[in-house]
């Protein structure tokens, strides 16, 4: 492995770094993007029961004691029911956007890696070709061993860039799907809270 890295030239090092970052981001997202962390079932059921009983003050306390995203959004809604409905909807949307941003955390990094890794591979290919032409200019084409270094650099960096970019793209799709699914559940639960609060006013 180390021999291949050396043959690939200097661009192999940032490509390897990108592979480590993409794997770290993917693992972090798999750990963080859990439904129970954002929309815990037990908390949701408890909150809904309190709102059905119109026990608003206890509902606020329950939200404050829970660290989930749904709790924070629900607290922002319940604590501002004295506002006009249009303004309350804006407050709910602002809180929802803030929590949705946490779902998307680090995902742009994966997209960046998907874009940059092949370009680094292409750069390595260009550097390898330059090395080949330098050898040809100095020694001609009669020395295959001298040419092999540039050829190896050109091929290895191209392959390495793709080997990093393809899994990073897969990692992104998986994390994106999990984030979207949790976002949809969070939106439905928040809407349910809002509907329960104003059920009797319709």
For residue 110, tell me if it sits in a domain. yes
1, pLDDT greater than 70 = no
pLDDT in the model for residue 6: 64
What element of type H or E holds 84? none
Distance CA 191, CA 126 (A): 54
25, pLDDT greater than 80 = yes
Contacts of 8 (CB under 8 A, 6+ apart): 15, 124, 152, 153, 156, 157, 160
pLDDT digits (tens, 9 = 90+) for 51-86: 988 888 899 999 999 999 999 999 999 888 888 888
pLDDT digits (tens, 9 = 90+) for 150-181: 677 778 888 999 999 999 999 999 999 999 99
- Contact yes or no for 156/200 (Cβ under 8 A): no
Poorest-confidence range of 5-19, 113-127, 143-157?
143-157
For residue 162, tell me if it sits in a domain. yes
For residue 104, tell me if it sits in a domain. yes
Distance CA 87, CA 9 (A): 59
For residue 147, tell me if it sits in a domain. yes
Distance CA 36, CA 154 (A): 47
pLDDT digits (tens, 9 = 90+) for 94-125: 888 888 888 998 999 999 999 999 999 988 88
pLDDT in the model for residue 113: 96
pTM above 0.85? no
Computed over its alpha carbons, how large is the radius of gyration of the chain?
A: 27
- Domain tally, the chain: 1
B/e letters for 96-126, b = 16+ CB within 10 Å, e = fewer, are beebbeebeeebebbeebbebbbebbebbbe
For residue 92, tell me if it sits in a domain. yes
pLDDT digits (tens, 9 = 90+) for 28-47: 999 999 988 899 999 999 99
pLDDT in the model for residue 141: 60
Distance CA 59, CA 160 (A): 54
Mean pLDDT for the chain? 86
In terms of C-beta density within 10 A (0-12 exposed, 13-18 middle, 19 or more buried), how is residue 184 classed?
Answer: exposed
Band (202; pLDDT cuts 50, 70, 90)? very low
Using a pLDDT cut of 90, give the percent of the chain over it. 48
For residue 202, tell me if it sits in a domain. no
Domain, as residue range, for 63: 2-197
């Amino acid at each position: 492995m180390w021999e291949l890295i050396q043959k690939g030239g200097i661009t192999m090092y940032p490509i390897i770094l990108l592979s480590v970052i993409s794997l770290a981001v993917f693992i972090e997202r798999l750990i963080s993007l859990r439904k129970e962390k954002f929309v815990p079932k037990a908390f949701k059921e408890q909150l809904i029961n309190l709102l059905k009983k119109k026990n608003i003050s206890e509902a606020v306390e329950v939200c404050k004691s829970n660290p989930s995203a749904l709790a924070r959004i629900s607290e922002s809604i319940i604590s501002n029911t004295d506002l006009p409905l249009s303004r309350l909807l804006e407050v709910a949307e602002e809180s929802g956007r803030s929590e949705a941003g946490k779902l998307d955390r680090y995902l742009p990094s994966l997209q960046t890696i998907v874009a940059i890794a092949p370009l680094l591979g292409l750069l390595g290919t260009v550097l390898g070709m330059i090395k080949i032409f330098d050898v040809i200019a100095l020694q001609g084409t009669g020395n295959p061993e001298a040419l092999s270094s540039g050829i190896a650099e050109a091929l290895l960096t191209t392959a390495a860039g793709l080997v990093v970019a393809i899994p990073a793209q897969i990692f992104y799709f998986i994390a994106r799907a999990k984030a979207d699914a949790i976002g949809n559940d969070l939106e439905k639960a928040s809407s349910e809270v809002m509907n329960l609060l104003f059920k009797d006013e319709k």
